[in-house]
Structure 1
Amino acid sequence: MPATKTNVACRALSSVKEDKTEKRRGGRTGTIVDDIKQKRRECEEKEEQPSAEIDIWFDDVDPDDIEAAIGPEAAKIAREKLGIAEGTAQDTVEKALVKDKAFSGLTRAVAMDCEMVGVGPDGEESIVARVSIVNQFGKCIYDKYVKPSERVTDYRTMVSGIRPKDIRNGEQFKIVQKDVTEILKGRILVGHAVHNDLKILFLDHPKKKIRDTQKYKPFKRIVKSGRPSLKLLCERILNVKVQTSEHSSVQDAQAAMRLYTLEKKHWEAEIQARQKLPGEHKLNHLSK
């Protein structure tokens, strides 16, 4: 039987592992899994009649949920069924994170994010594979793949988005490290758990010039989490979805910067007030 969208979707549905779906979808899992099981049975029945053109998609399920439960191929078909143009979701996120027609050069504050790959016997050790920096308006000012200094044993593509061809001809680590050092010098550095990005680049940055969205207390209170993920902050505070599949260090840097600019006035005022406190009061303030 020739491969059709329906057949591809049926195969995708039949390969679903409910235990993984349960873990990923939280409260909505039961409904989605039940729908998948039902649609799978319908697919199996209809595939016995190849001439029948069938509609298997859910009118009331977000394609992003389908992608998380089944995969990108199924989600693509779902979007087509719903009349959602390819790339629309991505365009929407970019509009929320990047200021259109804004200055595209260096600004007083920049945001950085790195993607990493695994090295060593089990791929558990990390080395940097991509470094992205955006300015205060979300405009990308630096984006480099890094040539690995040792053999990569786990590309972590599902998370990192890195493939062998990306870093095979990447820039030398020392050059990237020097470039980043020059860009960050004297500037406010924004990021999410940005200490990890500095560590992987073997760099330091003055603590008073770091704005970490994972550590910002007002954000923690809003989402009720001691170590909120960037994805959670974006969903709850910016009302946008990031990291829905493979990560992008450019988009993650843009997301961190947008969170910072949203709170910039209050964030910077708090820091200035803290710096004016006498030593003993400053310690008390920091411990709160």
Structure 2
Amino acid sequence: MPVTDYRTRWSGIQRRHLHNATPFTQAREEILSILEGKVVVGHSIYNDFEVLDMLHPCHMVRDTSTTRLLSRLAGFPSKCYPSLKTLANKLLNRTIQVGKRGHCSVEDAQAALDLYKLVEGEWEQEVQNKLRDDDAPLEPSFASSKHYMQDEYWPDDVIADSQ
């Protein structure tokens, strides 16, 4: 479908970025292949999954927008779901998503991953407790920062733009 709104303010994408771009169906298949069997960390990533028409197992998703661990750590009420920008500022002392060029996906991903790392142990314990039977022995978590996917998938020009 032709693009009618690039939402550059939020996406950072401009018309020039789509010249010679990988077709959506091919990109989707590559993304599904990369994410298969992986724990996905991000902020409000249900939006990304929806666009990709993708179902990822709930126990393999670490969405920093919905965990109460980060809200509590930041001092917000339990029903509050702060933005990535707010959490990064409050918990990481990092200013992100500023300027007119739009959000930088690399900067956002790094912030979400760093937020996850703040509560990783407690979060993984919660996941393990939900997954195991009451009588089953506690096993090491299948997900931890030792198992992150390498950044080999970031295009060089995107990494350079974020630094």
TM-score above 0.5: yes
TM-score tier after normalising by the smaller chain length = 0.7 to 0.9
TM-score by structure 1 length? Answer: 0.43
Structure 1, residues 155-203: CA drift from partner, whole Å, max 9, x if none? 2222221111111221111111111111111111111111100111111
Aligned to 2:98: 244
Q: CA deviation at 1:277?
A: 5.1
The equivalences for 1:181-220 within 5 A come to 181-220=32-71
Q: Specify the SS of the correspondent of 2:55.
A: coil
The equivalences for 1:27-106 within 5 A come to none
Aligned to 1:235: 89
Structure 1, residues 36-70: CA drift from partner, whole Å, max 9, x if none? xxxxxxxxxxxxxxxxxxxxxxxxxxxxxxxxxxx
CA distance in 2, matches of 1:169, 1:158: 22
> Can you give the 5+ residue segments of structure 1 that lack an aligned partner in the other structure?
1-149, 279-288
CA distance in 2, matches of 1:196, 1:266: 25
Aligned to 1:174: 25
Aligned to 2:109: 253
Aligned pair count? 129
Identity percentage over the alignment? 38
CA distance in 2, matches of 1:159, 1:165: 16
Q: CA deviation at 1:153?
A: 1.9
TM-score by structure 2 length? Answer: 0.73
- Alignment root-mean-square deviation, CA: 1.5
Work out which structure has the larger RCO, using CA pairs closer than 8 Å and 6 or more positions apart in sequence. 2
Aligned to 1:265: 121
Q: Specify the SS of the correspondent of 2:4.
A: strand
Letter paired with 1:205 = H
Runs (4+) of structure 1 moved beyond 6 Å? none
Q: CA deviation at 1:262?
A: 2.1
Q: Which has the larger radius of gyration?
A: 1
The equivalences for 1:76-155 within 5 A come to 150-155=1-6
Aligned to 2:161: none
